[in-house]
Amino acid sequence: MRIAYVISAYRRPEQLVRLIRRLAADDTRFYVHVDRKTSEPVFRAMVDGLTDLDVVFLPRHACHWGDFGHVGASLKGIAAIVESGFDPDYTILLSGQDYPIKSNRAIREFLAKRAGRSSFLYFAIPTSHWTQGGLPRFRDWHLRWRRLHVRIPLRRSLPLDLTPWGGSAYWILSRRALDEVVGFVAEHPEYVRFFRHVDIPDESFFHTILLNSAIAGECDDIRLHYTEWGRTPAPAVLLTGDYPHLVESPCLFARKFDPHVDSEVLDLIDEQLLTVDSGGTP
């Protein structure tokens, strides 16, 4: 089974290196986007720490929370996968502050059971999960620059008469789903233009494409990441005290971690959760 990981990172080189080394395996390739705002020494430390692995560093652009930059990074990763001819069975999107809480073997067993199906958390819009059902995210114009967010209440509609969908920013796409995204984006540049002014578009861009497509029935609503929303700022940095919840979670990954805040929780995951998992095989 061939797996491509698309990872968006901006800080903590040692954390990115640790993540990729934990996930590295045969028939696995990594496509990494590093925020252009990241300093050159930090970027070089990321590159230098991964020279012996199958890692592709993508052309860099600036990403700001809530803007199109994160979608753009994912699209660059997808384009690089297609251009490289790697041809993965599954593509997995992560951030540099994620970490697996299941072993590589368990991740592959999960994917094998999916039998070509895609997995990500999703829900129809309007939804009780988002303020005002999430409709203002789409129907208003949103302009973001650094920390500045301007919302202009000029009503607009999704192109192509699509139904909006939302969910988690992170996903696992089958090869068919990846091809669907690539083809749709190429054929409908107006859709991409529209989403450049959607609020937090990484939580709806891919969902709306796939759940309006002919392969919508091949997408399963599955939570892939354990996150802690009960502490602020949310999602909270996971701590050693969260480790029992990680053990119990059925999720494949968790976020977010910061070794400068608590590195012991990552050590526990490595030493206890990932070393003896899925029949004792890392």
Q: What is the pLDDT of residue 276?
A: 54
Residue 277: pLDDT over 80? no
Question: pLDDT for 137-164, tens place per residue?
Answer: 999 999 988 889 999 998 999 999 999 9
Q: Could you give the CA distance from residue 158 to residue 20 in angstroms, rounded to a whole number?
A: 37
Q: Where are the domains of the chain?
A: 1-105+223-282, 115-168+175-218
Burial 174-195 (b: 16+ CB within 10 A, else e): bbebbebbeebbeeeeebbebb
Other C-beta atoms closer than 10 Å to the C-beta of 142 total 20
Q: Which residues pair with 165 in a beta bridge?
A: 124
Amino acid occupying residue 151: R
Report the pLDDT averaged over residues 19-38. 97
Question: pLDDT for 85-109, tens place per residue?
Answer: 999 999 999 999 999 999 999 999 9
Q: For residue 89, which phi and psi values (nearest 5 degrees)? A: -75, -35
Report the pLDDT averaged over residues 178-201. 98
Residue 209: pLDDT over 90? yes
Q: What is the pLDDT of residue 133?
A: 96
C-alpha atoms less than 13 angstroms from C-alpha of 141 in its C-beta half-sphere: 6
| pTM of the model as a whole | 0.95
